[in-house]
């Protein structure tokens, strides 16, 4: 359980906005629910923005009450919907949006999303002075300033369930399965799933390998008596990597099959871990706004919820720890 800071309430708020942006992540609904119910319990009205920054620009928001967030805690996706908005890259659009928010009586905005969403939030406050607060909602777990992000645990468990099933088939047919997991340029999901799933090889952006290195590792594994293997691959920047590797292994005599899990990792009911993480961060978001704090993201470090300046969050990228990658490598041999 994460310890929550005790903050003085130095700012009186009457109405705040709330949006989810970018890729959906399991647990976003838990965060929405926590922000809404915490704010309402303190006499603060909440306007939910439909479809992320696109809805913010267009002024598409709705009043939220306790009933509007009933029975969403256990659901995946986001009840507020999400979108990617190119128009919000324009400073003029951001200025007009801030004016529209103020005109509607909104005093602060909570943004749940990944690095791109948090960048937009930072620019909105930096340029217009409108108060923003971010929550890290992404399955990639690559946000600087937090050890955990909303949705990561669920994505890992979803991928792990698929890998456990593929292991059965790989063993039965003495095959090699290459399983691509999400994560963009981050190896967090791949390394974690690789360790938990007992993969023979884990390939991440931080530790790329070529085809021949993979083939050598499989040959060594076969010499030790293993006739089936699982290779976990982070998606990375090259969408064709897994297919080329699959062709190379088949040409070398292995019965290899490529399996791309894709967006299935984003959906589904969030784990208990993600529900509690999102709930604590959503609750703490209202605390921090009432304490007069803004232009920060709330994250977790060393079992504590704490605020990190958005300027730091968006200027750095959290990398998969070398120790975790080394564990994956050693246990796979």
What is the total residue count of the chain?
333
The token duo for 84 is 């990617």
CB contact burial 35-54 (16+ within 10 A = b; e otherwise):
bbbbbbeeebbbbbbbbbbb
Residue pair 128/95 in contact (Cβ under 8 Å)? The answer is yes
H helix or E strand, kind and range, residue 178: strand 176-181
CA torsion 243-249-251-257 (nearest 10°) is: -60
DSSP annotation of 209 reads: -
The token duo for 86 is 């190119």
Report helix, strand and coil shares of the chain as percent, to nearest 5.
45, 20, 35
The token duo for 109 is 């905005």
Strands 45-49 and 256-260: unpaired
Q: Is residue 140 among the annotated active site residues?
A: yes
The token duo for 240 is 């064709």
Residue pair 311/178 in contact (Cβ under 8 Å)? The answer is no
Which of these is catalytic: 24, 65, 83, 140?
140
The token duo for 174 is 């003495």
Active site residues: 140
């Amino acid at each position: 359980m994460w310890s929550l800071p005790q903050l003085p309430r130095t700012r009186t708020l009457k109405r705040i906005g709330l949006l989810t942006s970018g890729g959906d992540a399991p647990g976003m609904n838990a965060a929405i629910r926590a922000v809404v119910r915490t704010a309402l319990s303190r006499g603060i009205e909440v306007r939910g923005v439909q479809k992320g920054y696109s809805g913010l620009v267009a002024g598409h928001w709705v009043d939220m009450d306790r009933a509007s967030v009933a029975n969403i805690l256990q659901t995946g996706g986001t009840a507020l919907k999400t979108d990617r908005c190119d128009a919000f890259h324009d400073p003029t659009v951001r200025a007009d949006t801030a004016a529209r928010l103020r005109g509607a009586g909104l005093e602060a905005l909570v943004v749940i999303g990944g690095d791109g969403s948090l960048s937009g939030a930072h620019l909105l406050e930096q340029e217009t002075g409108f108060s923003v607060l971010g929550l890290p909602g992404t399955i990639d777990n690559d946000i600087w300033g937090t050890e955990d992000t909303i949705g990561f645990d669920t994505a890992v468990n979803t991928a792990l369930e698929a890998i456990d099933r593929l292991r059965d088939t790989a063993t039965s047919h003495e095959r090699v399965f290459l399983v691509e997991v999400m994560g963009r340029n981050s190896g967090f999901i791949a390394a974690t799933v690789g360790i938990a799933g007992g993969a023979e090889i884990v390939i991440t952006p931080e530790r790329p390998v070529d085809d021949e290195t993979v083939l050598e590792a499989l040959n060594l594994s076969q010499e030790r008596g293993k006739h089936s293997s699982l290779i976990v691959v982070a998606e990375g920047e090259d969408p064709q990597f897994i297919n080329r590797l699959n062709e190379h292994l088949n040409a070398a005599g292995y019965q290899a099959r490529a399996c791309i899990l894709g967006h299935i990792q984003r959906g589904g009911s969030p784990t208990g871990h993600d529900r509690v993480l999102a709930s604590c961060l959503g609750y703490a978001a209202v605390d921090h706004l009432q304490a007069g704090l803004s232009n920060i993201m709330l994250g977790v470090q060393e079992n504590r919820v704490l605020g990190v300046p958005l300027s730091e969050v968006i200027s750095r990228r959290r990398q998969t720890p070398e120790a975790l990658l080394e564990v994956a490598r050693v246990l796979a041999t």
